[in-house]
Structure formats: structure tokens, C-alpha cells
Amino acid sequence: MKQSHLFTKTRREAPKDEVAKNAQLLIRAGFINKEMAGVYSYLPLGLRVLNKIVNIIREEMNAIGGQEVHLTALQDKKNWEATNRWDDKVVDNWFKTELKNGTELGLGFTHEEPLTALMKDHVRSFRDLPTSVYQFQTKFRNEARAKSGIMRGREFLMKDLYSFNRDEKAHADFYEKAKQAYLKIFDRVGLGAETFVTFASGGSFSKYSHEFQTLTEAGEDTIFVDEKKKIAINKEVLNDEVLKDLGVNKADLIEKKAVEVGNIFSLGTRFSEPLNLVYSNEEGKSVPVVMGSYGIGPGRVMGTIVEVHADDKGLVWPEAVAPFGVHLIAIFDKVGKVQVEADNLYKKLSDKGIEVLYDDRDTTAGEKFGDSDLIGIPTRYVISEKTLANNSIEIKDRLTGKVEMVKIDTL
Ligand code: ATP
Ligand code: MG
């Protein structure tokens, strides 16, 4: 993409009311737009990053057998009444609305209820299980605080997968596969080193749930990390009994701030019983399906990547999620040789399938370099009269700052 064509502009200052580093930088670099507190739009550069994260998640969900669907945001109250989650006293972050005729509707904050209800038409016998279904969808939550930028939106994208199994044993097998898939995802998006499987409250159907917590001062959670064992315990559940249960010594734990980038949960028959999702087993007996839910917020992951990797110059994207692989910068005073060579190189790289953002704008070198640091593409190619005098371009690594000169014909 030619930068002269990109409609977004960088800016020196973020809006005064934006306090989160991730949103400040993403707004300044033109990746997102703040509509209001906790509500952000994704612009071309931001959407490219979000889509890369989404695709990595999609690949890993497909690899464990997940089948993709797209459920509705508008929710039928009757499914939620059946599980006692319609009442605002039970669920405090609903957005609700109504039809012209007065019928109440909800805007989905999660999708256990509608999917469980839907599966009734498809799961009948033990032969229909196991199965798992996922989607990427906008969720709506009337969050009390929205001070963490895109890490806590009131409207945000979630990947939510739901698993359906015959019994606890089959569920446990799938749950473990999903846990490994999640670790792969956080590795692939560049958060592997900072992300810990964290024991958290399991609700009424299992002892624990597992959160995937990424260490960052910007996180809203407090966890206790055992670095040797590479696990952590959420402060909410830390007590002597849990320590003993997990075989962890209090002395090995370090208190850290972290953000929950993912969460996997055993649901037992919490939803299948009230919504009557049953199957007939090998003896022909009707039994409730055992379920699990597995969530990741791609926007929260993107915000977390910013918090973890950005430096004082701007964004720093890991290769796998960067909006482009190469930022090609042409430095020229007037139309001439440099521009011709740069156009050439842009075409060649693009033909090779390399994603290039080409700064062909008629502006100063200072502005181009400043914008390039802010946008944070992993590799920068600079072509100028000086580099061309050696038939070379300069290659700079955004993360390390390392610079090398490379002959154009060996590139
Ligand atoms: P938190 O405890 O941080 O409020 P949660 O436990 O309510 O999150 P889940 O319901 O488990 O979150 O949602 C699954 C995933 O969706 C989370 O792990 C997170 O990545 C993402 N997520 C949750 N709430 C938000 C939000 N308000 N904005 C962006 N992403 C979110
Ligand atoms: Mg949570």
C-alpha cells in the first residue's frame, strides 16, 4: 500500500481524556478512533493487525476441530430467563433494548444460552458428540470502568468457543487440547514469554478455571507467578489450601500486575440442564451434555501487545501481527532516480507477496522516520540518493534499532 493513498494521518497528541497507553499510541498512529469511552473503531492499519490476530486464533481453533459460526448480537430473553441470567441483579453489565411493540431484547455479552438452545436441534445421540463451535463476534458489556483503552471495551470483539461432550472425562480431554491451543496462540502473537496459565475461580462446576494472564503494569488483575513452574494463581483464589493443592510454595511466588487475555471454563451441565440440551447415550438413556467455554478478546490481545512491546518512540509489532512486514521509505527532494528505484522495489517486493507500506509521500525525511517509528512496522527499508550511490538500501530493525546496508541486487 502506498502511504500517500492511506487516508489516516498520524498525530502528535492523543485525546486529553485517553489515559491508556495502548489507545494513546494506537490513536496517534492512526490505527483506531475513539468514539467515546470504551468504544473504539478500527481503521485500516488497526484492522490489519486485528485480522492477523483473528486469523491466528481461527487457525488454532480449526486445528482442534472447532466449527465456525456467526450468532446474533440481539438476544431472546427467554433463553436467558431459563438459566437465570436475564435479571440485572444477577448480571450487572447487560445492555438491553426493546422492539417497537415493547418486547425486551438483550445485546449479547456472551453466547452460552443461544448456542446451547440452538444445539438442541442438532445433538441427539452419543454419535453427535463430541463437537465444538466457535465464532468471532461483537460483544456488548456495560462495563463500569473503561480506562484501559481497547483492553476493556463496552463493545468489543470476542472469539468464543463452546465444547459439547458426553461426559466429564471426554470434556477434560478437549479442555486440555484447548489449553495447549491457547498457549500456541499467545506464542504466535508475540506474547509467549509474558503469558502464564493462571488458576482462577472455577464457579460451581469445577475447582478451577484457567486464565491466560499476560504480565504488564497496565493490567487490572493481580496474580502470583511461579516462574520456574511457569504457572500463576489469581489473587482472588490464593489461599493455603490452593497452594497445597497445586503443589506450589508461597516463597516461590512473585506478585505481578497482569491482564487476562484469555479464559477457559468448564461449565458442566450449568447450561445444558436448564435449556434441556440432552443426548441419548449407548443405553438409550437421556443425559445432559457436558459443556465448556473458551474466550479470547482479539482487541484486548492487540492492546496487550502494544502495552508489552511499545517503546518511547511508538508501537513495536511482532512480525506475525504487524500491519505490514516492510516499511519502505523513499527519501527524495524532487521526482527522479530515487523515486523510480523505490517504485521498482515496491513492485518487486509486492510481487513476491511481501506486505509493504511504501512511504511515497512528498514530505520531509524527519516526518517519514518519525511516523515510521510510531507505526512500528518490524523492518524498515530506506532508499535515498546516499544509499543509491552504493547501489544499496539501508535496512533497520524496529525492535533492536540494528542497521545494515544491503546491495539492491542481492536483496
Ligand atoms: P475481565 O475479568 O477482564 O472483565 P472476563 O472474565 O469478564 O474479563 P470473559 O467473559 O472470560 O472475560 O471473556 C473472554 C475474553 O474476552 C477475556 O479473556 C478477554 O480477552 C476478552 N474480554 C472480556 N471483556 C472484555 C472487554 N471489556 N473488552 C475487550 N476484551 C474483553
Ligand atoms: Mg475474568
376 lines ligand 1 (CB under 6 A): no
Residue 336 has pLDDT above 90, yes or no: no
CA distance 297 to 221: 16
Judgement on whether residues 283 and 405 belong to the same structural domain of the protein: no
Looking at residue 274, its pLDDT comes to: 98
Of 196-205, 221-230, 341-350, least confident by mean pLDDT is 196-205
CA of 64: how far to CAs of 61, 156, 163, in Å?
A: 5, 25, 11
CATH of residue 226: 3.30.930.10
Four-residue CA torsion sign, 388, 389, 391, 396: negative
Same domain, yes or no: 120 and 24: yes
Between the CA of 5 and the centroid of ligand 1 the distance, in Å, is: 35
Task: Report CA dihedral (346, 350, 351, 354) to the nearest 10 degrees.
Answer: 130
Instruction: Give dist(CA 315, CA 332) in Å, integer.
Output: 26
Q: Single out the residue of 324, 375, 329, 368 nearest to residue 350, CA to CA.
A: 324
Specify the residue with its C-alpha closest to ligand 1, atom 27.
Answer: 152
- pLDDT exceeds 90 at position 203: no
Give the residue whose CA is nearest to atom 4 of ligand 1.
152
Q: How many structural domains are present in the chain?
A: 2
Instruction: State which ligand 1 atom lies nearest to the alpha carbon of 110.
Output: 10
Torsion of CA 237, 161, 108, 151, to 10 degrees: 60
Looking at the predicted structure, is the pLDDT value of residue 47 above 80? yes
**Per-residue cell: 12:** 502528535
Same domain, 200 and 283: yes
Cα 383 off chain centre by: 35
Q: How many CB atoms lie within 10 A of CB 234?
A: 22
Residues 22 and 159 in one domain: yes
User: What is the pTM (predicted TM-score) of this model?
Assistant: 0.97
Query: What is the residue range of 205's domain?
Result: 3-309
Say whether both 210 and 269 belong to one domain.
yes
268 in contact with ligand 1, CB cutoff 6 A: no
* Nearest CA owner, ligand 1 atom 21: 297
Best residue among 137, 158, 159 to mutate for probing ligand 1's pocket (most ligand atoms within 8 Å of CB) is: 158
Q: How far apart are CA 104 and CA 97, in angstroms?
A: 6
Do 293 and 375 fall within a single domain? no
pLDDT tens digit string along 248-268?
Answer: 999 999 999 999 999 999 999
Domain boundary among 277, 309, 341: 309
Looking at the fold, whether 149 and 287 belong to one and the same domain comes out as yes
- 170 vs 25: CA distance, rounded Å: 44
Three-class SS of the chain = CECCCCCCCCCCCCCCCCCCHHHHHHHHCCCEEEEECCEEEECHHHHHHHHHHHHHHHHHHHHCCCEECCCCCEEEHHHHHHCCCCCCCCCCCCEEEECCCCCEEEECCCCHHHHHHHHCCCCCEHHHCCEEEEEEEEEECCCCCCCCHHHCCCEEEEEEEEEEECCHHHHHHHHHHHHHHHHHHHHHCCCHHHEEEEEEECCCCCCEEEEEEEECCCCCEEEEEECCCCEEEEHHHCCHHHHHHHCCCHHHEEEEEEEEEEEEEEEECCCCCCCCCEEECCCCCEEECEEEEEEECHHHHHHHHHHHHCECCECCCCHHHCCCCEEEEECCCCCCHHHHHHHHHHHHHHHCCCCEEEECCCCCHHHHHHHHHHHCCCEEEEECHHHHCCCEEEEEECCCCCEEEEEHHHC
149 lines ligand 1 (CB under 6 A): no
Let me know if residue 314 belongs to a domain.
no
Residues 348 and 227 reside in one and the same domain: no
pLDDT at site 204: 78
Question: Is 356 contained in some domain?
Answer: yes
HSE-CB of 376 using CA atoms within 13 angstroms: 28
pLDDT band with cut points at 50, 70 and 90 for residue 335: low
Query: Where does a domain end: 309, 339, 356?
Result: 309
Q: Among 284, 309, 334, give the residue marking a domain's end.
A: 309
Task: Share the mean pLDDT of the chain.
Answer: 97
Mutate to test the pocket of ligand 1, among 136, 260, 307 (most ligand atoms within 8 A of CB): 260
How large is the average pLDDT for residues 176-192? 98
Residue-wise pLDDT tens digits, 130-182: 999 999 999 999 999 899 999 999 999 999 999 999 999 999 999 999 999 99
Q: How confident is the model at residue 394 (pLDDT cuts 50, 70, 90)?
A: very high
Locate the ligand 1 atom nearest the alpha carbon of residue 259 and give its number.
3
Segment 380-393 mean pLDDT:
96
Does 336 fall in a domain?
yes
What is the spatial distance between Cα 370 and Cα 387, in angstroms, rounded to a whole number?
19
Looking at the structure, do residues 274 and 331 belong to the same domain, yes or no? Answer: no
In a domain, residue 317? The reply is: no
Binding site membership of 262 for ligand 1 (Cβ less than 6 Å): yes
Q: Count of alpha carbons within 13 Å of 189, Cβ hemisphere only? A: 35
Decide whether any atom of ligand 1 lies within 6 Å of the 296 Cβ: yes
Is residue 114 lining ligand 1, measured as CB closer than 6 Å?
no
Q: Please state, as a whole number, how many other Cβ atoms lie within 10 Å of the Cβ of residue 332.
A: 19
pLDDT score, position 411: 87
Model confidence pLDDT, tens digit, residues 2-20: 999 999 999 999 999 999 9
Pocket test residue of 208, 300, 306, 307 for ligand 1, highest count of atoms within 8 A of CB? 300
pLDDT of residue 50: 99
> How many angstroms does the Cα of residue 71 sit away from the middle of ligand 2?
22
Ligand nearest to the CA of 260: 1
Q: Report the CATH number at residue 380.
A: 3.40.50.800
121 assigned to some structural domain: yes
Q: Is pLDDT above 80 for 334?
A: no
Mean pLDDT of 274-299: 98
- If one counts every other C-beta atom within 10 angstroms of the C-beta of residue 396, the result is 18
Centroid of ligand 1 to alpha carbon of 171 (angstroms) = 23
Q: Do residues 226 and 200 touch, judged by C-beta distance below 8 A? A: no
Regarding whether 135 and 190 lie in a shared domain, the answer is yes
Query: Closest residue (by CA) to atom 3 of ligand 1?
Result: 260
Domain assignment present for residue 122? The answer is yes
Residues 213 and 286 in one domain: yes
- Whether residue 301 lies inside any domain: the answer is yes
Kindly report, residue by residue over 216-246, the tens digit of the pLDDT.
Answer: 999 999 999 999 999 999 999 999 999 999 9
Strand order in the sheet with 95-98: 74-76, 104-107, 95-98
Asked if residue 59 is part of any domain, the answer here is yes
Q: Pairing relation of β-strands 379-383 and 392-397? A: antiparallel
Give yes or no for residue 357 having a pLDDT over 90.
yes
Whose alpha carbon is nearest atom 24 of ligand 1? 152
Looking at the fold, whether 121 and 174 belong to one and the same domain comes out as: yes
Instruction: State if residue 200 touches ligand 1 by the CB under 6 angstroms criterion.
Output: no
| 93 CA to centre of ligand 1 in angstroms | 12
Any atom of ligand 1 within 6 Å of the Cβ of 153: yes
